[in-house]
Amino acid sequence: MTTTAETPYGLGHLDALESEAVHIFREVAGEFERPVILFSGGKDSILMLHLALKAFTPAPVPFPLLHVDTGHNFPEVIAYRDRAVAAHGLTLHVASVQEYIDRGVLRERPDGTRNPLQTVPLTEAIQHERFDAVFGGGRRDEEKARAKERVFSLRDEFSQWDPRRQRPELWQLYNGRHAPGEHVRVFPLSNWTELDVWQYIARENIELPEIYFAHRREVFDRGGMWLTAGDWGGPKDDETVEKRQVRYRTVGDMSCTGAVDSDAGTLDQVIAEITASRLTERGATRADDKLSEAAMEDRKREGYF
């Protein structure tokens, strides 16, 4: 911690969020046998790793990482992932969507999007490695189904989420009891907003993949979003590629994560841009959430992140 900014009412909001997340990491370390951190190389998972490092300092993080690899990766993000794993002496598990497609277990979708295809490799990796607590970077401010999510969210052997049967969660008393084969999804960033994440990243001077900052990139327009041209299947014949100054607000599968026009090249500029934005980060950049009113709810029920 760099400063304990004490407001008249106790901890400053970033210190309070940090303390809460660390408390959650330590609860899991104390209660579970085989936890794992979902790590995509996106800013929320980078933030989770940073908080986990702080929670167990001076000892190393006692959990491995799990990356569900769609095969449609930004090279900068994979390079970042590998550097982070090496720097902190972590173990990395990779569940590969491409491998499932090659084996014929999963089929490519007509729209080329692999985001929904991640659920099966994720679930099977959890079962195979017998992970009992799975940290995800989901935040309640992201989406309205997520606003109803618990910090400790019980999943059955198929990873299914049933919003009508969630355990009540009171005070900071998290209930991690589960049967063999079940696991608990744990969301230490539940109470963070996008702006909190960026403010904290700036305060802690956390390194991010370059694609979060403005750069020139070859993109094309699909459904009102700037997608990166690449092997994954874009652009189609009627779509034209152009060079634009963009940055990514979220990082996911290349086929459904859009860039936004931006000149924000530094953390302070990114924060100023988000403060002024009139779109949520998912509304601006995620094609999969535009599918229907309950797209996220449906994917979550099936075991998605």
Among 83, 128, 130, 144, binds other proteins (CB under 8 A): 144
User: CA 275 to CA 6: how far, in whole Å?
Assistant: 23
The helix or strand, by DSSP H or E, that contains position 248, with its residue range, turns out to be strand 241-248
Region binding other proteins by CB under 8 A among candidate stretches 51-59, 73-81, 104-112, 118-126 = 51-59
User: CA 138 to CA 116: how far, in whole Å?
Assistant: 16
User: CA 200 to CA 230: how far, in whole Å?
Assistant: 32
Residues 175-234 that bind other proteins (CB under 8 A): 175, 177-179, 190-191, 193, 195-196, 199, 202-203
**Residue (81 or 139) nearer to other proteins, CB:** 139
The helix or strand, by DSSP H or E, that contains position 241, with its residue range, turns out to be strand 241-248
Region binding other proteins by CB under 8 A among candidate stretches 8-16, 83-91, 114-122, 245-253 = 8-16
Region binding other proteins by CB under 8 A among candidate stretches 53-61, 70-78, 236-244, 250-258 = 53-61
**Residue (126 or 197) nearer to other proteins, CB:** 197
CB of 130 to other proteins, least distance (A): 18
Residue 75 within binding range of other proteins, rule CB under 8 A: no
Report which of 205, 200, 198, 255 is spatially closest to residue 225, judged by C-alpha positions: 255
Residue 276 within binding range of other proteins, rule CB under 8 A: no
Q: For the residues of 198-253, what is the DSSP string, one character each?
A: HHHHHHHT----GGGS-EEEEEEEETTEEEEPBTTTB--TT--EEEEEEEESS---
Among 55, 95, 211, 264, binds other proteins (CB under 8 A): 55
Residues 252-271 that bind other proteins (CB under 8 A): 267-268, 271
Among 16, 79, 206, 241, binds other proteins (CB under 8 A): 16
The helix or strand, by DSSP H or E, that contains position 154, with its residue range, turns out to be strand 152-155
User: CA 14 to CA 136: how far, in whole Å?
Assistant: 19
User: CA 178 to CA 175: how far, in whole Å?
Assistant: 9
**Residue (103 or 165) nearer to other proteins, CB:** 165
Among 89, 110, 171, 243, binds other proteins (CB under 8 A): 171
**Residue (51 or 97) nearer to other proteins, CB:** 51
Which stretches within 119-158 are classed as H helix? Answer: 119-129
Residues in the chain: 305
